[in-house]
Amino acid sequence: IRKPVIGTYRGYEIISMGPPSSGGVCLIELLNILENFDLKKYGFGSSYTIHYLVEAMKRVYADRAEYLGDPDFVEIPLEKLLSKEYAKTIANEIDTLFATPSSKIVRSVSPPEEGSHTTHYSVVDKWGNVVSVTTTINSYFGSMVAVDGAGFFLNNEMDDFSAKPGTPNQFGLLGNKANSIQPGKRMLSSMTPTIVLKNGKPFLILGSPGGSTIITSVLQVILNVIDFGMNIQEAVDAPRIHHQWYPDVVYYEKRGLPLDVIENLGKRGHKLVERRGFQGEVQAILIDENGVKYGAADPRGYGFAMGY
């Protein structure tokens, strides 16, 4: 049994998956950085908001590549990565007007593009117990080897290791020796099943499939609720962006950004690419102050919300 990682964001408590998943660490580090900016003032989808999101994402994915792996095999500076002080130093590095090229965010790994078959579900029972679960076989159909008579595919999670540090895996993610292959070691993932508490009580239960985009998908739903005041379905439906340090590209969903925002971000030095498909498939539950539960299934996928 692994311990979760715990942080805070604007008075809310964030509980998420710890290593060997990178999801919780990266999510909390991102929130800690973004807490230094008044996103509510800038507004959802503005060039300023997206600029700060992207610049934070670059730096956090660089830390992911540098430090994260199986804690049974490598020493991870968790206290540093989860600290508000470290996040403040990163926030202070971010230029308010111009993009920092990924090549200038230096780590010991540098480049020469996770699973497409991941499932997430969020559950609340009648007693108020909450569960956030993400499972995966990594790529579509995993290893493409099915177990005779059992009806399921074996995974190809070995690709989540850094078989050759500095060379990207199938999702473009770079890794360091911290995530190299060793006997008995667990590979690094991006799974980010998360529970958000408000005044000590469950408020948000969420997660997503999507490989390297899981972290940024979960992040943006949390921001949409806490900073931008959306209801849970609006927060899940809203268009998303993604940057993972390398390649040095901001991916955005089709018709997800207005032309003026695209032009403004381009002038700031960001390289933008419209996705061919969608980003993530968040399944979420929000529990309001009266105990009313609101379920939201992402229209990007085939999930649905149901009650009891």
Is 137 part of any known ligand binding site?
yes
Q: Give me the DSSP letters along 10-71.
A: TTEEEEE--TTBSHHHHHHHHHHHHTTS-HHHH-TT-HHHHHHHHHHHHHHHHHHHHH-S-T
Is 138 part of any known ligand binding site?
yes
Round to whole Å and give the CA distance between 269 and 99: 5
Is 189 part of any known ligand binding site?
yes
Is 116 part of any known ligand binding site?
no
Q: Please give the structure tokens belonging to residue 218.
A: 């979960």
Is 149 part of any known ligand binding site?
no
Is 211 part of any known ligand binding site?
yes
Using H for helix, E for strand and C for coil, what is the string for 198-240? ECCEEEEEEECCCHHHHHHHHHHHHHHHHCCCCCHHHHHHCCC
118 included as an active-site residue: yes
198 - beta bridge partners? 201
Catalytic choice (49, 118, 213, 216): 118
Is 172 part of any known ligand binding site?
no
Would you name the residues annotated as active-site residues?
A: 118
**Which residues are known binding-site members?**
136-138, 160, 189-190, 211
**Which residues are known binding-site members for L-glutamate?**
136-138, 160, 189-190, 211
